[in-house]
Amino acid sequence: MFRWDIVWQFLFSSFIFQAAWTTLWISVVAQSCGVVLGLFIALMRMSRFPLLSGFARAYTWFFRGSPLLVQVLLLWDGLPKLVPSLLLPDFAVILVAFSFNEGAYMAEIIRAGITSVDPGQMEAAKSLGMRYSLAMRRIVLPQAARVIVPPLGNEFNNMLKTTSIASVIGLQELTGTAEIFGSPTFSIFELLIVATFYYLLLTTLWSFVQGWIENRLDPNRSSKYDLQDRKSFTARMLGFGSHNGGGTLVSGR
């Protein structure tokens, strides 16, 4: 029979807090590394040098084409057999595997974002004397971000749940902890309810954060900002009025 008291007992226990924290930080670190990796893979993929784009293609092909669970096990079990001296700690195995895997997916998302920006933007930046890297950073990526963030949100949401794979190598994140405490007492169901609660809590919190980020990148928001606050603010800071002040700033030219 189902025992609510076990649910309540574990819901606010320090083991579960610890496990939820592990789930969260693994997700955040792996996702962040995945975004950075993905950016480089995306840029390599779009490079005109065949060696770079070929490597990026192969990378994406491998990491998207094989299961994450297999990649984790290959790294955990297989790597020490190939290179005996290289024995990574469990959490490092998870972070490396998750980051590399996520990098492949993010690369495609970022590439789509960059291609969505009008090529005229890069041309305009170049015509002003910007080099590729500066133009990418200041002009193209800020515009690509609007296209990248919604699928990135999906990816992070997935990441929070995919961390459960870490339990197969004994890492005590939410799912692993639920199994460890649930199995000996035959209360695995109760513990999984507790874990589910925390997964939902984390993904819900994330959806708020994502909404906030998307709102900040929304052009309509910036236009409201533009009309109400920004104008008066700059007008005050620079000390010219909205209609006839500009000319007074001309100094010796």
Partner 1 sequence: MSITSTNGKNISRSDEMVRAEKIVKSFGNLTVLNGVDLSVKRGQVVVIIGPSGSGKTTLLRCINHLEKIDSGHIYIEGEMIGYREVNGKLVEDREATIARIRSQIGFVFQRFNLFPHMTALENIIEAPIHVLHQPRKEVTERAMALLAKVGLSEKANAFPHKLSGGQQQRVAIARALAMNPKLMLFDEATSALDPELVGEVLKVMRQLADEGMTMAVVTHEMGFARDVADHVIFMDKAVIVEQGPPEQIFDNAQNERTRTFLGMIR
Binding footprint of partner 1 on the chain (CB under 8 A) = 118, 120-121, 123-132, 134, 138-139, 142-143, 219, 222-223, 226, 230-231, 234-235, 238, 240, 242-247, 249-251, 253
Q: Report the nearest approach of partner 1 to the CB of residue 139 (Å).
A: 6
Pick 69 or 227: Cβ nearer partner 1: 227
Name the CA radius of gyration of the chain, rounded: 24
> CA 210, 173, 2: angle at the middle one, nearest 5?
100
* Residue length of the chain: 253
Distance of closest approach, residue 115 Cβ to partner 1, in angstroms: 16
Shortest spacing between CB 152 and partner 1, in angstroms:
18
Task: Please report how close the Cβ of residue 140 comes to partner 1 at its closest, in angstroms.
Answer: 10
Q: Read off the DSSP letter of residue 245.
A: -
CB of 212 to partner 1, least distance (A): 18
C-alpha to C-alpha distance for 130 and 122, rounded to whole angstroms: 9
C-beta closer to partner 1: residue 116 or 207: 116
User: Are 156 and 25 a contacting pair, CB within 8 Å?
Assistant: no
Residues in Cβ contact with 37 at an 8 Å cutoff, skipping those fewer than 6 apart: 99, 100, 102, 103, 106, 107
Is 77 or 118 the residue whose CB approaches partner 1 more closely? 118
Separation between Cα atoms, residue 73 and residue 79, nearest integer Å: 9
Which residue's CB is nearer to partner 1, number 134 or number 205?
134
Q: DSSP readout, 78-112?
A: IHHHHSTT----HHHHHHHHHHHHHHHHHHHHHHH
Nearest CB to partner 1, comparing residues 89 and 247: 247
